């Protein structure tokens, strides 16, 4: 094979350090960029893990009971752990390219809680709504799912009483429930939400409860631990909560929030 000579006019041009950007970022902007770059690296890592395990049907195999939800949970936790350490250096490279500075260690310490996906704790000792007693039949059905609820509560940092109360309000603990809007199962997941949460079989109580709890945990983080807003977002969607800057003026949503909080009060007595 004949060798081809390439003309290179500047032998360090393509490996030179990028120039510092003309637009300077203030300290607040740098903090946001640091967090965003770490979040991006975590997402990228999660996609890599998913791609690597596709041929084996996921980390737990295709036939495992509840494996779909556990796959999603483990992939997220592994990606978060890898990213919040030094990871692959993707976040640092993004930050350095856009700011011309090294990724500060102090920013890593500040954003780690967010990367861990820690759900804000909710004080249930002083709810403003009185106790509401669910039907005995609904409570009887709910007892069958206690091990799954306990597992989901531990996985996503949500109080068991909250999960139980959402299930009671959504489906009266009927795993076969379906609404006029085609929300399905114990926690009444819409198809899009179920897919986003990694739920493949919405009728499987394990997947449904884990998927619903995971989504509610996201809402609770989004609204800084505000239980009422998180419940309103679960019912009416975060878009409506943001639009009205609070609980939307929908009777259904206002009744839903009050009912769930009433159930929580009942279960916490």
Whether 140 and 263 share a structural domain: yes
Q: Please give the pLDDT value at position 265.
A: 92
Six-digit token string for 126: 């002083």
Whether 110 and 140 share a structural domain: no
- At which of 115, 149, 171 does a domain end? 115
Average pLDDT value for residue range 167-176: 96
Whether 161 and 198 share a structural domain: yes
The answer as to whether 6 is a domain residue is no
Q: What's the pLDDT band for 27 if we cut at 50, 70, 90?
A: confident
* 106-120, 189-203, 217-231, 237-251: segment of lowest average pLDDT: 106-120
Question: Looking at the 3D structure of the chain, how many domains does it have?
Answer: 2
Dihedral, CA of residue 204, residue 54, residue 214 and residue 177, to nearest 10:
-20
The answer as to whether 130 is a domain residue is no
The answer as to whether 155 is a domain residue is yes
* 47-56, 137-146, 218-227, 229-238: segment of lowest average pLDDT: 47-56
Q: Please give the pLDDT value at position 30.
A: 75
The answer as to whether 125 is a domain residue is no
Q: How would you label 169-178 residue by residue, b for 16+ Cβ within 10 Å and e otherwise?
A: bbbbbebebe
CATH classification of the domain holding 222: 1.10.530.10
75, 170, 175, 207: the catalytic one is 170
Residue 170 falls in the annotated catalytic set: yes
Q: Please give the pLDDT value at position 261.
A: 94
Is the pLDDT at 36 greater than 50? The verdict is: yes
According to the per-residue pLDDT averaged within each range, which of 11-20, 23-32, 105-114, 222-231 is highest? 222-231
Q: Are 158 and 118 in contact (CB under 8 A)?
A: no
Higher pLDDT, 138 or 3: 138
63: containing domain? 18-115
- At which of 115, 147, 170 does a domain end? 115
Whether 162 and 207 share a structural domain: yes
Six-digit token string for 266: 């009942």
Whether 253 and 160 share a structural domain: yes
Six-digit token string for 209: 């409860």
- At which of 115, 146, 161 does a domain end? 115
The answer as to whether 4 is a domain residue is no
Whether 165 and 103 share a structural domain: no
Quote the CA–CA distance of 145 and 154 in Å, as a whole number.
Answer: 14
Residue with tokens 């295709």: 62
Report percent pLDDT > 70 for the chain: 64
Is the whole-model pTM more than 0.85? no
Q: Please give the pLDDT value at position 28.
A: 73
Q: Please give the pLDDT value at position 14.
A: 45
Phi, psi of 178 (to 5 degrees): -145, 135
Q: Please give the pLDDT value at position 66.
A: 47
* 124-138, 148-162, 222-236: segment of lowest average pLDDT: 124-138
Six-digit token string for 217: 């945990």
Q: Are 168 and 134 in contact (CB under 8 A)?
A: yes
Six-digit token string for 134: 């669910």
Whether 100 and 154 share a structural domain: no
Six-digit token string for 155: 């996985």
């Amino acid at each position: 094979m004949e060798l081809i000579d390439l003309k290179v006019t500047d032998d360090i041009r393509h490996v030179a350090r990028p120039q510092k950007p003309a637009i300077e970022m203030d300290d607040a902007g740098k903090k946001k960029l640091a967090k965003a770059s770490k979040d991006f690296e975590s997402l990228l890592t999660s996609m890599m893990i998913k791609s690597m395990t596709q041929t084996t049907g996921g980390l737990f195999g295709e036939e495992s009971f509840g494996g779909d939800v556990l796959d999603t949970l483990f992939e997220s936790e592994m990606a978060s752990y890898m990213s919040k350490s030094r990871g692959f250096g993707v976040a640092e490279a993004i930050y350095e390219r856009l700011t011309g500075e090294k990724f500060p260690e102090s920013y890593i310490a500040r954003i780690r809680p967010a990367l861990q996906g820690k759900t804000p704790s909710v004080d249930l000792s002083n709810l403003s709504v009185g106790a509401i007693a669910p039907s005995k039949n609904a409570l009887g059905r709910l007892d069958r799912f206690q091990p799954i609820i306990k597992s989901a509560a531990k996985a996503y940092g949500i109080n068991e009483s909250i999960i139980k109360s959402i299930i009671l309000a959504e489906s009266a603990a009927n795993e076969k429930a379906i609404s006029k809007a085609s929300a399905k199962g114990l926690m009444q997941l819409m198809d899009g939400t179920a897919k986003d949460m990694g739920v493949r079989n919405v009728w499987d109580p394990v997947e449904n409860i884990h998927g619903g709890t995971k989504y509610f945990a996201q809402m609770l983080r989004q609204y800084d631990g505000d239980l009422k807003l998180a419940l309103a977002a679960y019912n009416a969607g975060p878009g409506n909560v943001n639009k009205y800057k609070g609980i939307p003026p929908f009777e259904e949503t206002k009744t839903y929030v009050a009912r769930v909080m009433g159930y929580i009060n009942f279960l916490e007595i």
